Amino acid sequence: MATTASAATHEYTVTLSRDLSTLAVEARLAPGVTRISARSRNARDKLITMRDCASGDTLSANSRAVIYRDGLRCLSYSVDLRRIRAQRAQRDSESTAFVVPITEWMWRPRLGGKDEIVVSFRLPDGVGVSVPWQMLDENAHRFRLRSSPQSGTGLSVFGQFHRAVVRVADEDMRIVSLPSSSNPIGAEVIAWTQQTAENIALAYGRFPNPQARVLLFPVTNSRDQSAVPFGRVVRDGGETIELLVDPRRSEESFLGDWTATHEFSHLMLPYVSRDQRWVSEGFAQYYQNVLLARAGHYTQQQAWQNLRDGLDRGRESVPGLSPNQATDGGERNSRMKIYWSGAAVALMADIELRRRSQGAESLDLVLDRLQACCLPSRRIWSGRDLFEKLDALIDEPLFVELYERHADAPGFPDFEPFLEHPGFAEIRAAITARRYTGEPNE
């Protein structure tokens, strides 16, 4: 009978120098580690020293890895933060905090299964740290890092910054705002962030990941007139929503901005492989309009007009390509196809689920079940993986058929017939109705 390998726990202690110039890391490793690596190609250039702290032998990094075939149990190294910070222009030169990509200072073994790294930070007085990992002890600056999709580069924040733990649908969420001397983020923006996260709970009654972190970066010099010029979700050691915000904008500008709702909506799905991101971008595009209508920031008419206009733009974009072809990066001007073909599939699935069940099923309900069984997920999913799982969560399959019909078919998903079903007007009203009527899983 095959045996399951036991989970490995590695203990890291990370010490930040008083002048904030270096990080000293000591890693006590579980047995069997023969390779240590850093994901950034620049990480080796930032090393000051690296040695086996059991034998005292100096180690040399070959490219992004250290190979130690006899097994390494204790690793000690130091990193020059000044070199990292010099290469990353801070948005505000007078800021009391600085951002460092974790991939440029962390050397670690590969994590599989339930392997974990427990990281404790030793910080100078008055200095804080924020990382995307699971918090074990806030006062002791102790965190747990496990495997993740590594969809981007996770960020660590050191220094003096504002952090808040807010309640979102009966769960805690961490919000970290970077300081700015010229355009500071105030309590109003924090409250808006919390409200936007709570709007996601209008899908199925709770927030998809209670351990998510939000990083707010203040705009210091931008010609963009929007309240939220940029956002993204990074799933690297945990899930972080990064938002570039302009605190100078009015409350109405923030409430009507769709960027944050779009990014938060991504958390209702696992990370889908980038070469099929039309699925994840499309579902988020669909829900940003639905949820802003449920929250009362769009009228139902506005939400449906936005959807209709977007679907028409998607249909006109690179009409000769399938969604999968549009996403592979080989064609310019395919953005609308990528974002709106997935939205069309989400819309068709939602309408059909509600129609055939007389309102007992919906896309909300299926994603509720997905969250209960599978989120947050530590692996990368394909589009087919996701649709097969969604079918497994309902009595009568639907999603794989939609995937097979549209993923590789040139053109745009034909959503028009779904809008012509008898009873669509009632379904349309139910989709954007403010009150959530389903029962979330316990």
Give the span between the Cα atoms of 64 and 43, in whole angstroms.
Answer: 7
Structure confidence at residue 20 (pLDDT): 95
Structure confidence at residue 81 (pLDDT): 95
Query: CATH code for 10-160?
Result: 2.60.40.3650
Looking at the chain, the domain(s) classified CATH 2.60.40.3650 span 10-160
Tokens of 399: 């999603």
CB 127 within 8 A of CB 81: no
The dihedral sign for the CA sequence 358, 374, 293, 198: positive
Give the span between the Cα atoms of 414 and 407, in whole angstroms.
Answer: 12
Secondary structure of 217-254 as H, E, C letters: EECCCCCCCCCCCEEEEEECCCEEEEEEECCCCCHHHH
Structure confidence at residue 437 (pLDDT): 43
Tokens of 47: 């090393």
Q: What angle do CA 306, 307, 310 make, to 5 degrees?
A: 85
Residues of the chain with pLDDT under 50: 1-3, 89, 91-93, 437-442
Tokens of 411: 């053109």
Structure confidence at residue 224 (pLDDT): 73
CB 299 within 8 A of CB 317: no
Give the span between the Cα atoms of 300 and 432, in whole angstroms.
Answer: 6
Query: CATH code for 269-442?
Result: 1.10.390
Structure confidence at residue 63 (pLDDT): 73
Q: What is the CA 94 to chain-centroid distance, rounded?
A: 29
Structure confidence at residue 213 (pLDDT): 97
136: helix, strand or coil: strand
Q: What angle do CA 70, 75, 76 make, to 5 degrees?
A: 145
Looking at the chain, the domain(s) classified CATH 1.10.390 span 269-442
Cα–Cα distance list, 138 to 27, 100, 145, 243, 441 (Å): 20, 20, 15, 23, 29
Cβ-Cβ contacts under 8 Å for 19 (sequence gap 6 or more): none
Helix, strand, coil content of the chain in percent (nearest 5)? 35, 25, 45
Across the chain, how many H-helices and E-strands are there? 14, 17
Q: Tell me the pairing of strands 213-218 and 171-177.
A: parallel
Cα–Cα distance list, 121 to 24, 26, 139 (Å): 10, 11, 10
CA nearest 210: which of 265, 168, 263, 243?
168
Give the span between the Cα atoms of 243 and 260, in whole angstroms.
Answer: 7
Q: What angle do CA 187, 238, 260 make, to 5 degrees?
A: 40
Q: What angle do CA 198, 199, 200 make, to 5 degrees?
A: 90
Q: What's the pTM value of the predicted model, to 2 decimals?
A: 0.94
User: Cα-Cα-Cα-Cα dihedral of 72, 76, 82, 84, to 10°?
Assistant: 20
Q: Which amino acid does the sequence have at 84?
A: I
